[in-house]
Chains A and B, each alone.
Chain A
Amino acid sequence: MPGKILQANGMNRCIGCYSCMLACARVVYKSYSPRYSAIQIRTRGGLQSKLAADICRGCLEAPCAAACLTEALLARPEGGVRFNRKKCVGCGDCAKKCVVQVIYFDERDCRPVVCIQCATCVRFCPHDVLSMEVRSNA
């Protein structure tokens, strides 16, 4: 069975609770801060507007991984990347190459906050907004 990638197809149902962000930060990045999450929920212009999710779109032959000289980021065949933090030297090139500009690179600790397609955010979404799906063009 082909692997899956994160999708946010139910954004019209999103309540902006940040449970996904807090889950990613907590479980993957061991931080309390929702800024340290690879998924970012934001408004399109204040809370009267619709909510949007900035997520990794699971590129095939991911450009962020191609830019990584240490192979800390490796492209997954089904789209998206794996991240080996120990190999990362903190150059930040991955964030620059991200097509949809969703890799957060914190200058304070020089490591990218990047989606590893682990589905932790999906598990904590209370409103069926997020899911793991096979890439439509896989």
Chain B
Amino acid sequence: MLDGRPVRVLLIDLDKKKIAVEERQDLNSWLGGVGIATCLLKEHLLPGEDAFHPSQPVVLAIGPMSTVYPVVTKAVAMFKSPLTGELGESYAGLRLAMSLRFAGYDAIVLKGQAAAPAYLTISQRQVQFNDARGLWGLSTEESGRILRQLSPGGGHRSTLRIGRAGEKQVAFACAVVDTYRHFGRLGLGAVLGSKKIKALVIHGDLNIPITNPAQYNRVYEKIYKQLVETEIMEKYHGLGTTGNVEPLNALGALPVRNLQASSYPEAVNLSGETFARETLIRKISCSGCPIGCIHIGLFRRRFGQDHEHEYETLSVSYDHELVYALGTMLGLTDHRQVYALIEKVEQLGLDAISAGVALAWATEAQQKGLVPEQELLTRLSFGQTEPYLAALDNIVAQPTEFYRVLARGTWAAAGQYGGSEFACVLGKNEVAGYHTGYANIIGQAFGARHSHLDNAGYAIDQELIGKSPAATPEEIISRIIREEEERNALNSLIICLFARKVYQLPLVAEALSALGLSWKAEELLALGQKIYREKMALKKSMGFQPEQVVIPTRFLETTAIKQQLSPEKMQQLSRLMAERLSAYQ
């Protein structure tokens, strides 16, 4: 890490209530972030055991540039995913990376299982195991409020907690970080719940002196200027990610009503412009990011039918993926409906994308007669909010066999009840809010964690529109893999991917040099390739078989950017990708 010092790893054993700090010089060649987290996961993982086995590790890590350079704001979590049974990898911002850095830890490995609900407070010189019995069962907001009151260091700490969904081990439960950010995808919340860990409060106020102020200040200012004085980041600050809703709808690339359509006229009511005009009240930032992409809207809700002039007001953060999964996928037509679902998902501590896609699938499954109403306990209907709110509660409470199965994910439910052909799921993970074409689908189906952010296939599709001659299948596969390799390099640092166009690898090398770390751009790319290979090998050890990847027919039925996708071409791309991945053992 900084100045070539060894990577500092805090090991926490929940069974024995013991800790150890390891100085790991051997990890320095993996730089940080996803690089060191992959190594630590591999070291501690039980690949053949269940994701909820008490000895499975949870790894948190930051990189050498975390908080030290602008927009280097993410922390990574790695674990075995209870949703996919494979590689769990998720990123979160706000104050977590900063708190870890100045608590003096580059990574934390959490193993074992607490005897009773507990929360941990972690600082430079201390780890405390605290009783969380009084917090168990509380919403993410209320537990956050109590934890802030009980813990020192406001402004220099981060509070990571799970909701009721994590406690009940819903396979797509998230962990909320500092109210507005999340380790959303792949079920970290459920893994923490299985360990009976309600929360981690990390407090960091260590002084880390700058060793080369002149060089560091020069590079810092150069990067800062590019971020705030050019147009590169404006879209993230301006409308934010929901600025995508209307353009995707216009393209015919916005999944609607369980991807039965890829555009609809009502999308205008859920656009970034509508959210901003009607509701936007403020923006906030992760620590060390001058952009401010976290958009907070005012959700005003009437108490009920009997209270004509009584309202509650809630500050809710919105983003494209939430508006897609809890909006367009469910055929909603008004931004207030979306806020009601976002608020519910936040308080329960569910991943918004997986939750929305699961509800969309369940709606269609019920319409097709695959799930009886006495199992669903409600009548789901695209466009109707109330039944969805009830169903979200039921995914967590699990009162019937159907909800117990749905709590294991859409793919598990489709496996039992039928309807896998219209499950918007790739690699057992519910898909993100783009239907752009082949690269998007192949990218998520074969990405290391089946996330749209593995390789941004949705962006590759859009870049390839109208290209002449058309990209060959080999070119498409190579671009997907290359993008995933580069992203692994950035994720070892861990730069927010919104700033990837600023942080080109030569600039990253210059930035690292000012921290006493010697990396050339090509070495960073080679590292990204090495991490990608290692992750794929690890994934295979947990059971991933590239040649067995299934692409549900729904992805081919609905046009993507007005183009009918061909099963033959999809098969060809899948085969090519599986061949490329066969090298990684």
- Whether, in the assembled complex, B469 has its beta carbon less than 8 Å from a beta carbon of chain A, the answer is no
- Whether, in the assembled complex, B145 has its beta carbon less than 8 Å from a beta carbon of chain A, the answer is yes
Q: A22-B288, A33-B208, A34-B156 are in contact. Are A27 and B217 (CB under 8 A)?
A: yes
Contact between A46 and B144, CB atoms less than 8 A apart: yes
Q: How far is the CA of A48 from the CA of B148 in the complex (A)?
A: 13
Contact between A17 and B290, CB atoms less than 8 A apart: yes
Shortest CB distance B139–A (Å): 13
- Whether, in the assembled complex, A117 has its beta carbon less than 8 Å from a beta carbon of chain B, the answer is no
- Whether, in the assembled complex, B205 has its beta carbon less than 8 Å from a beta carbon of chain A, the answer is yes
- Interface set, chain B 184-238, CB cutoff 8 A to A: 204-210, 213, 216-217, 220, 224, 228
Residues of B within 8 A of A131 (CB): none
Contact between B217 and A18, CB atoms less than 8 A apart: no
- The contact of A48 among B213, B290, B315, by CB within 8 Å, is B315
Residues of B within 8 A of A43 (CB): 154-155
- The contact of B206 among A26, A27, A33, A48, by CB within 8 Å, is A33
Residue of A15, A30, A124 with highest tally of chain B CB at under 10 A = A15
- The contact of A15 among B102, B154, B285, by CB within 8 Å, is B285
Contact between B224 and A30, CB atoms less than 8 A apart: no
Shortest CB distance A107–B (Å): 11
- The contact of B148 among A31, A46, A127, by CB within 8 Å, is A46
- The contact of B292 among A32, A124, A127, by CB within 8 Å, is A127
Contact between A108 and B179, CB atoms less than 8 A apart: no
Residues of B within 8 A of A7 (CB): none
Other contacts beyond A17-B291, A126-B228: 18, CB < 8 A: A15-B283, A17-B288, A17-B289, A19-B70, A19-B288, A26-B217, A31-B208, A31-B210, A32-B2, A32-B67, A33-B205, A41-B155, A43-B154, A43-B155, A46-B148, A48-B179, A109-B207, A124-B290
- Whether, in the assembled complex, A47 has its beta carbon less than 8 Å from a beta carbon of chain B, the answer is yes
Q: How far is the CA of A112 from the CA of B213 in the complex (A)?
A: 20
Shortest CB distance A48–B (Å): 5
Nearest A-chain residue to B317, judged by Cβ: A47
Nearest A-chain residue to B98, judged by Cβ: A34
Shortest CB distance B202–A (Å): 14
Q: How far is the CA of A26 from the CA of B69 in the complex (A)?
A: 11
- The contact of A32 among B68, B144, B287, B290, by CB within 8 Å, is B68
Residues of A within 8 A of B288 (CB): 17-19, 22
Residues of A within 8 A of B156 (CB): 34-35
Contact between B209 and A30, CB atoms less than 8 A apart: yes
Interface flags for A16-46 (1: CB within 8 Å of B; 0: not) read 1111001000110011111110001111011
Interface flags for B97-126 (1: CB within 8 Å of A; 0: not) read 010011000000000000000000000000
Shortest CB distance B395–A (Å): 25
Residues of A within 8 A of B292 (CB): 15, 17, 126-127
Residues of A within 8 A of B144 (CB): 46
- Whether, in the assembled complex, B284 has its beta carbon less than 8 Å from a beta carbon of chain A, the answer is yes
Interface flags for B292-325 (1: CB within 8 Å of A; 0: not) read 1000000000000000000000010000000000
Q: How far is the CA of A106 from the CA of B283 in the complex (A)?
A: 32
Q: How far is the CA of A16 from the CA of B292 in the complex (A)?
A: 8
Across the A-B interface, give the 9 residue pairs with the lowest CB-CB distance, nearest first. Answer: A17-B285, A15-B292, A126-B290, A35-B205, A42-B155, A15-B285, A32-B208, A47-B179, A18-B287
Q: Can you report 27 A-B residue pairs in the complex whose CB atoms are below 8 A from each other? A: A15-B284, A15-B285, A17-B285, A17-B289, A18-B98, A26-B213, A26-B216, A27-B217, A32-B68, A32-B210, A33-B204, A34-B67, A34-B98, A35-B102, A35-B205, A35-B207, A36-B207, A42-B154, A45-B148, A47-B178, A47-B180, A47-B284, A48-B315, A108-B207, A124-B290, A126-B290, A126-B291
Q: A32-B67, A106-B207 are in contact. Are A40 and B155 (CB under 8 A)?
A: yes
Residues of B within 8 A of A15 (CB): 282-285, 292
Q: A18-B287, A124-B224 are in contact. Are A31 and B315 (CB under 8 A)?
A: no
Residues of A within 8 A of B432 (CB): none
Please give the number of chain A residues whose Cβ is less than 8 angstroms from any Cβ of chain B in the complex: 29
Q: How far is the CA of A31 from the CA of B216 in the complex (A)?
A: 11
Residues of B within 8 A of A27 (CB): 217
Q: How far is the CA of A104 from the CA of B258 in the complex (A)?
A: 55
Residues of B within 8 A of A109 (CB): 207
Q: How far is the CA of A10 from the CA of B154 in the complex (A)?
A: 21
Q: How far is the CA of A109 from the CA of B535 in the complex (A)?
A: 43
Binding site for A on B (CB under 8 A): 2, 67-68, 70, 94, 98, 101-102, 144-145, 148, 154-156, 178-180, 204-210, 213, 216-217, 220, 224, 228, 282-292, 315
Residues of A within 8 A of B148 (CB): 45-46
- Tally the A-B contacts, defined by beta carbons under 8 Å: 92
Interface flags for A126-137 (1: CB within 8 Å of B; 0: not) read 110000000000
Q: A46-B148, A47-B180 are in contact. Are A17 and B287 (CB under 8 A)?
A: yes
Residues of A within 8 A of B207 (CB): 31, 33, 35-36, 106, 108-109
Q: How far is the CA of A17 from the CA of B283 in the complex (A)?
A: 10
Q: How far is the CA of A111 from the CA of B286 in the complex (A)?
A: 29
Residues of A within 8 A of B2 (CB): 32
Nearest B-chain residue to A19, judged by Cβ: B290
Q: How far is the CA of A48 from the CA of B140 in the complex (A)?
A: 13
Residues of B within 8 A of A108 (CB): 207
Q: How far is the CA of A23 from the CA of B224 in the complex (A)?
A: 11
Residues of B within 8 A of A32 (CB): 2, 67-68, 101, 208-210
Residues of A within 8 A of B290 (CB): 17, 19, 124, 126
Nearest B-chain residue to A16, judged by Cβ: B284
Q: A16-B285, A27-B217 are in contact. Are A47 and B208 (CB under 8 A)?
A: no
Q: How far is the CA of A32 from the CA of B212 in the complex (A)?
A: 11
Nearest A-chain residue to B216, judged by Cβ: A26
Q: How far is the CA of A15 from the CA of B292 in the complex (A)?
A: 6
- The contact of B94 among A30, A47, A124, by CB within 8 Å, is A47
Interface flags for A45-76 (1: CB within 8 Å of B; 0: not) read 11110000000000000000000000000000
Residues of B within 8 A of A19 (CB): 70, 224, 288, 290
Q: How far is the CA of A52 from the CA of B286 in the complex (A)?
A: 16
Q: How far is the CA of A37 from the CA of B137 in the complex (A)?
A: 38
Shortest CB distance B286–A (Å): 8
Q: How far is the CA of A65 from the CA of B384 in the complex (A)?
A: 65
- The contact of B67 among A22, A42, A46, by CB within 8 Å, is A22
